[in-house]
Structure 1
Amino acid sequence: MDDLPQPEEPANLKFLRLLVTTLTTVMIVGVIVVIGLLVTRLRDAGPALPDQVTLPAGTGATAFTQGDGWFAVVTDDQRILIYNRLTGALQQEIAITAGE
């Protein structure tokens, strides 16, 4: 009974097995690349924030953003205060008005 020939796999089944194996390999490599990129990006210290910001008396900060050479603070009395990053001096004050 051991002398019986083994049935041959159809060609399309071999091709399908090759496709599944290739897809699995590509997905594993992709996950490793994504994890590697996340690790390297999250290890970065991020943007440098100012040590302290002096706000006008009686105001509190509700938001903060920054750009090249400046940073801005949105206050709770609906103003945007733009400061020089190097000197910390107030450069511009913008009043926020509700749109109609």
Structure 2
Amino acid sequence: MDTPSEDGEPLPPQLMFLKRLVTGLAVVMIAGFLVLIAALVIRLNRPLITLPDQIALPAGAEAQAFTQGADWFAVVTTDDRILIYDRASGALRQTVTVD
């Protein structure tokens, strides 16, 4: 059955198809946007990675950068050293000197 246009005449079949296509696209876009928002909410509500409250740097060392792995984290110092710490205990695991 044809839907009447504003002036009361029925719409041609091609325009009805186009109208349904545009409506379907709008529904898919809204659903995709809602899925995107849900994914962001789920991702941002994950627990943060736990780190020790304090990190004991060697005397005279000043932190310049920070990076982390699965069970470790590292602090790059201004005197060209990389200090690798254990994530669970916070103890210094290894020191790497950068040449």
TM-score normalized by structure 2?
A: 0.80
Tell me the matched-pair count.
92
Match of 1:64 in 2: 66
1:50 counterpart SS class: coil
- Misfit runs of 4+, over 4 Å: none
Sequence identity percentage:
53
CA distance in 2, matches of 1:19, 1:96: 61
Match of 1:87 in 2: 89
Match of 1:3 in 2: none
**Selected match of 1:51 from 27, 30, 53:** 53
CA distance in 1, matches of 2:64, 2:21: 54
What whole-Å deviation, never above 9, does each CA across 1:8-48 have from its counterpart, x for those lacking one? 32211111111100010011111111111212221223111
Provide the aligned C-alpha RMSD in A: 1.6
Q: Which consecutive residues of structure 1, in runs of 5 or more, have no partner in the other structure?
A: 1-5
Do the aligned partners of 2:83 and 2:95 also contact (CA within 8 Å) in 1? yes
Q: Which consecutive residues of structure 2, in runs of 5 or more, have no partner in the other structure?
A: 1-7
1:51 counterpart SS class: coil
CA distance in 1, matches of 2:62, 2:23: 58
Residue 87 of structure 1 and its aligned partner are, at CA, apart by: 3.1
